[in-house]
C-alpha cells in the first residue's frame, strides 16, 4: 500500500525530500562544525572550502524556502486521492450518489484519506531521518572499529516481536469476545420474541438481571481488549529507553575521543526516539489500510474501465438517440419501454409528459447510466453511450432535480463556484440578465450576498430552481435535463424558467419532464409516454391521440 501512496502527488515529492535532507543537515550541523574544525587544523583547505560551501548553500536554500515541501506534498496527494475517489464513486452510479445510506461510508472514507497526511508529514520524514542518521551512525561506528551500530536494529527487531506477540493475543481474545457478543445478541432476540411469556410468568426481573450481567461482562471484555493494546506502546518505550541507556554505557567505555562518544550517543538516541514515534504513527496509518486499499482499488478499477471503453467524440453533444430500446426493471415482468425510437437534437426544447410510472424518469435514468437497457442502443453523437467516458457525460449534461445540491453559502458564492472561477461576478450578472434569471435578487435586502441556507432551504422552491438553472448555465453544458425540477415551483417562477429554457434551447438540447401540460404550446415538441409506447410530435398533433387528450383533461380538472 505504501508504494501506491508514495506515487500520489509526485510533482511535490522531490521538494519534500529536499526539505527532509535540509532538516537532517541542520540536525547534525554540530558534526559538520567538528569536521570543519578538524579539516582546518589538518590544513585540508580544499575539503574545508567545499564542505563550507555545501553547508552554507543548504542554509541559504532553507532561508528562501517559504513553504514546507512535506505539507505541499501531503495536501496535493490527499486532495488528488479525494477527487479520484469521488469521481470513481460517482461514475459507478454514472452521475451522483443519491443513496442516503452511502453518506456515512463516503464521509468515513474521506476522513481516512485525510488521515493519510500522517504518512506524508510524520512517517516519511521520520523514516528518512532514521535512515540518514543511521548511515552516519554506522560510518562513525565502523571508523572506530565498534559494533555499537547493531543496537538500533536489535531494538527495532525486539519492538516488532513484542508487537506481533501482543497482536496475536489481542486478535485471539477479540475473536472470542465477538463470538460471545453474537451469542448474547441471538439470545436477547429469542427472549424478546418470547416477551409475552416472560411477562405472563413475571420473570421479567430475572430476564433483566441476566441481560445486565451479560452486558456488563461484554463491557469488561471490551475494556480488557483495550488494555491489551497498552503493552505494545509500553514495550516500545521500555525497549527504546533501554537501547539508549545501554548504548550510552557501551559508548562511554570505548577508547575514543569524548567528542566522538557524544556524537554516537546523540545519533543513537535520535534514532531510537524516532523509532518509537515512527511505530506510533505507522500503527495509525495501518489501521486505515482496509479503507485505503478499497479506495485505491475502486479508483484503479474505474480507471481501467474508462481506459478500456473511452472513445473519441466530438467536442459538443449534437444528439442523444434511443434505437429499438427495450427496458424493464429486475423485479418486474412488464416492459417499461418497448421498441422505443427517439432522438433529441441540438437546438430543440422537448417536453416529456405521461402518467406516473409511464417511463418518464426511466428515460432520464438510462441517459444517466443508472440502469442498463435490455435490448437496443443509446447513442450520443452516433456513439454507443456505454463506450463514452462518464467524465465526458457528466461534464456535458446537466441533470436538474428538485433536490439538487446548493452550497450553504451566499447566492454570489454559488454563482462563482458554478463558473469554476472563469468569470467574475459582473460577467455572471450579464449572462443572467440575458436569460432574465434571478431578478428576485434585487428585492432581497442583502442582494447577491444573501445566504441561501443548507441546501437552499432559505429560498422558495421557485427561487432555488432559478438559482440551480443559473448555476448550470454558467457551467455551460450541452444538454439540460429537468427531472421533476419544476414540480414544486409556482406558475410565476415556472414561466420565468420555461422562457429561459426556450432561449437556451436555441443552442442546446433541453429536456423537461413536465407535470403541467398547460405550460406547453401547440407548436412545442412533446415526448408522450403512453403504457410502454412513446410518441414524439408537436402538441397540436398529439391531441389526435385520445390518451393525450385524456391526460390533458385530467390536468385541467
Q: What is the pLDDT of residues 123-150, one digit of tens each?
A: 888 888 888 888 888 888 888 777 878 8
Q: What is the pLDDT of residue 208?
A: 66
Q: What is the mean pLDDT of residues 15-36?
A: 81
Alpha-carbon separation of residue 16 from 2, 13, 115, 282 (angstroms):
16, 5, 18, 19
Q: What percent of the chain has pLDDT over 90?
A: 9
142 φ, ψ to 5°?
-65, -40
Across 220-235, b (16+ Cβ under 10 Å) vs e yields ebeeebeebeebbeeb
Cα separation, 460 vs 493, in Å, equals 10
pLDDT of residue 100: 39
- Could you give the C-alpha distances from 267 to 139, 149, 480, in angstroms and in order? 11, 10, 65
Instruction: Give the residue extent of every domain in the chain.
Output: 319-556
Contacts of 327 (CB under 8 A, 6+ apart): 335, 336, 337, 362, 366, 371, 373, 374
Q: Return the CA Rg of the chain.
A: 34
pLDDT for residue 527: 92
List strands edge to edge, sheet with 319-327: 337-345, 319-327, 375-380, 383-384
What does the alpha-carbon distance between residue 103 and residue 75 come to, in Å, rounded to a whole number?
23
DSSP annotation string for 150-216 = GHHHHHHHHHHHHHHHHHHHHHHHHHHHHHHHHHHHHHHHHHHHTHHHHHHTT-HHHHHHHHHHHHH
* Confidence tier at 184 by pLDDT (50, 70, 90): low
Q: Is the pLDDT of residue 94 over 50?
A: no
Residue 177 pLDDT grade (very low, low, confident, very high; cuts 50, 70, 90): low
Residue 187: pLDDT band with limits 50, 70, 90: low
Can you tell me the distance from the alpha carbon of 329 to that of 298, in angstroms, rounded to the nearest whole number? 26
Mean pLDDT of 54-74: 78
List, for residues 392-404, the tens digit of each pLDDT value: 787 888 888 777 7
- Residue 319 is predicted with a pLDDT of 92
What's the distance, CA 498 to chain centroid?
A: 36
C-alpha cell at 226: 483495550
Whole-angstrom Cα distance, residue 530 to residue 533?
Answer: 5
Q: Is the pLDDT of residue 268 over 60?
A: yes
Q: Which range among 30-44, 169-183, 378-392 shows the weakest confidence by mean pLDDT?
A: 169-183
Q: Among 29-33, 295-299, 426-430, 447-451, which is the least confidently predicted range?
A: 295-299
The confidence score (pLDDT) of residue 186 equals 62
Average pLDDT of 480-500?
84
pLDDT in tens, 289-309: 777 777 777 666 655 555 545
Least confident of 268-282, 440-454, 504-518: 268-282
Confidence bin at 373 (pLDDT 50/70/90): confident
Higher pLDDT, 471 or 36: 471
- For the chain, helix, strand, coil in percent to 5 are 65, 10, 25
CA distance 447 to 372: 45
Residue 224: pLDDT over 70: no
Confidence band for 507, pLDDT divided at 50, 70 and 90: very high
- The pLDDT value recorded for residue 322 is 93
* pLDDT at site 102: 47
End-to-end CA distance of the chain: 64
What average pLDDT does the structure give for the chain? 78
Ramachandran assignment for 204, one of left (phi > 0), alpha (psi -120 to 50 degrees), beta (any other): alpha
- Answer whether residue 83 shows pLDDT above 50: yes
Beta pairing, strands 479-483 & 397-401: parallel
Average pLDDT score over residue span 265-274: 80
pLDDT value, residue 522:
86
pLDDT band at 97 (very low <50, low <70, confident <90, very high): very low
Beta bridge partners of 533: 530
Strands of the sheet containing 509-513, edge to edge, are 397-401, 479-483, 509-513, 348-354, 525-530, 533-538
Which pLDDT score, from 0 to 100, does residue 35 have? 77
Lowest-confidence region among 192-196, 465-469, 514-518? 192-196
Q: Count how many Cα atoms sit within 13 Å of the Cα of residue 441 in the half-sphere of its side chain.
A: 21
Looking at residues 497-503, what average pLDDT do you find?
91
Q: With CA atoms as reference, report the closest residue to 260 among 164, 141, 357, 363.
A: 141
Compute the half-sphere exposure of residue 501: CA atoms within 13 Å on the CB side of its CA.
Answer: 31
pTM: 0.52
pLDDT, tens digit (0-9, with 9 covering 90-100), for 307-350: 545 555 667 899 999 999 988 887 777 888 888 899 999 999 99
pLDDT of residue 314: 60
Whether 137 contacts 27, CB under 8 Å: no
- Cβ burial, residue 208 (10 Å; 0-12/13-18/19+): exposed
Give whole-number Cα distances, 293 to 33, 112, 200, 219, 540, in Å. Answer: 46, 11, 53, 31, 58
**What pLDDT is attached to residue 226?**
63
Range scoring the smallest mean pLDDT among 10-19, 239-248, 368-377, 418-427: 239-248
Q: What is the dihedral of CA 517, 523, 524, 527, to 10 degrees?
A: 80
- In 76-137 the beta strands, taken as DSSP E runs, fall at none
Q: Helix 461-474 and helix 411-418: axis angle, to 10°?
A: 30
How far is 99 from 506, CA to CA, in rounded Å?
35
What pLDDT does residue 95 have? 43
What is the rounded distance in angstroms from the CA atom of residue 260 to the CA atom of residue 38? 12
- pLDDT for residue 31: 78
Q: What is the pLDDT of residue 387?
A: 81
CB atoms within 10 A of CB 10: 12
Burial of 205 (0-12, 13-18, 19+ CB in 10 A): exposed
CATH 3.30.930.10 fits 319-556, yes or no: no
Rounded CA separation 23/234 (Å):
29
Share of the chain above pLDDT 70, in %: 79
Beta bridge pairs of residue 319: 345
CA distance 508 to 346: 5
Output the CA–CA distances (angstroms, integers) from residue 37 to 31, 52, 207, 266, in the order listed: 10, 11, 82, 19
- Residue 84 reports pLDDT greater than 70: yes
Q: Are residues 480 and 460 in contact, defined by beta-carbon separation less than 8 angstroms? A: no
Amino acid at each position: 500500500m505504501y508504494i501506491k501512496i508514495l506515487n500520489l502527488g509526485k510533482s511535490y515529492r522531490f521538494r519534500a525530500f529536499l526539505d527532509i535532507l535540509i532538516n537532517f543537515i541542520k540536525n547534525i550541523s554540530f558534526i559538520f562544525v567538528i569536521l570543519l574544525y578538524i579539516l582546518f587544523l589538518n590544513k585540508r583547505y580544499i575539503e574545508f572550502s567545499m564542505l563550507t560551501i555545501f553547508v552554507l548553500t543548504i542554509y541559504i536554500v532553507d532561508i528562501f524556502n517559504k513553504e514546507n515541501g512535506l505539507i505541499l506534498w501531503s495536501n496535493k496527494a490527499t486532495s488528488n486521492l479525494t477527487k479520484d475517489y469521488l469521481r470513481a464513486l460517482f461514475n459507478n452510479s454514472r452521475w451522483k450518489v443519491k443513496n442516503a445510506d452511502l453518506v456515512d461510508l463516503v464521509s468515513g472514507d474521506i476522513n481516512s484519506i485525510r488521515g493519510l497526511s500522517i504518512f506524508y508529514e510524520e512517517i516519511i520524514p521520520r523514516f528518512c531521518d532514521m535512515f540518514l542518521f543511521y548511515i552516519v551512525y554506522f560510518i562513525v561506528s565502523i571508523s572506530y572499529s565498534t559494533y555499537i551500530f547493531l543496537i538500533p536494529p536489535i531494538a527495532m527487531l525486539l519492538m516488532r516481536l513484542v508487537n506481533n506477540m501482543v497482536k496475536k493475543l489481542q486478535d485471539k481474545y477479540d475473536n472470542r469476545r465477538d463470538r460471545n457478543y453474537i451469542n448474547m445478541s441471538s439470545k436477547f432476540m429469542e427472549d424478546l420474541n418470547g416477551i409475552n411469556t416472560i411477562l405472563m410468568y413475571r420473570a421479567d426481573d430475572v430476564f433483566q438481571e441476566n441481560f445486565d450481567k451479560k452486558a456488563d461482562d461484554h463491557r469488561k471484555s471490551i475494556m480488557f481488549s483495550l488494555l491489551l493494546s497498552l503493552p505494545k506502546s509500553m514495550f516500545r518505550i521500555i525497549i527504546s529507553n533501554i537501547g539508549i541507556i545501554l548504548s550510552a554505557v557501551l559508548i562511554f567505555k570505548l577508547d575514543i575521543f569524548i567528542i566522538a562518544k557524544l556524537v554516537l550517543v546523540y545519533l543513537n538516541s535520535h534514532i531510537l526516539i524516532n523509532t518509537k514515534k515512527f511505530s506510533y504513527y505507522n500503527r495509525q496509518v495501518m489501521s486505515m489500510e482496509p479503507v485505503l486499499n478499497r479506495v485505491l482499488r475502486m479508483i484503479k478499477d474505474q480507471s481501467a474501465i474508462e481506459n478500456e471503453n473511452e472513445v473519441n467524440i466530438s467536442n459538443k453533444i449534437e444528439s442523444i438517440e434511443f434505437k429499438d430500446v427495450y427496458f424493464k426493471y429486475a423485479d418486474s415482468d412488464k416492459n417499461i419501454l418497448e421498441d422505443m425510437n427517439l432522438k433529441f437534437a441540438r437546438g430543440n426544447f422537448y417536453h416529456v409528459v405521461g402518467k406516473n410510472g409511464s417511463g418518464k424518469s426511466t428515460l432520464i435514468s438510462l441517459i444517466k447510466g443508472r440502469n442498463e437497457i435490455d435490448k437496443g442502443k443509446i447513442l450520443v453523437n452516433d456513439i454507443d453511450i456505454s463506450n463514452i467516458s462518464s467524465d465526458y457525460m457528466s461534464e456535458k449534461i446537466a441533470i436538474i432535480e428538485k433536490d439538487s445540491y446548493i452550497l450553504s453559502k451566499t447566492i454570489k458564492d454559488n454563482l462563482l463556484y458554478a463558473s469554476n472561477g472563469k468569470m467574475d461576478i459582473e460577467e455572471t450578472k450579464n449572462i443572467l440578465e440575458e436569460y432574465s434569471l434571478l431578478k428576485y435578487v434585487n428585492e432581497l435586502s442583502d442582494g447577491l450576498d444573501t445566504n441561501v441556507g443548507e441546501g437552499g432551504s432559505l429560498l422558495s422552491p421557485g427561487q432555488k430552481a432559478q438559482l440551480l438553472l443559473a448555476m448550470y448555465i454558467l457551467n455551460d453544458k450541452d444538454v439540460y435535463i429537468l427531472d421533476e425540477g419544476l414540480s414544486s415551483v409556482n406558475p410565476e417562477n415556472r414561466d420565468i424558467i420555461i422562457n429561459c429554457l426556450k432561449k437556451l434551447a436555441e443552442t442546446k438540447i433541453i429536456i423537461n419532464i413536465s407535470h403541467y401540460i398547460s405550460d406547453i404550446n401547440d407548436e412545442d415538441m412533446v415526448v408522450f409516454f403512453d403504457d410502454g409506447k412513446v410518441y414524439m410530435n408537436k402538441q397540436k398533433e398529439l391531441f389526435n391521440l385520445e390518451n393525450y387528450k385524456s391526460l390533458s383533461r385530467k390536468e385541467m380538472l
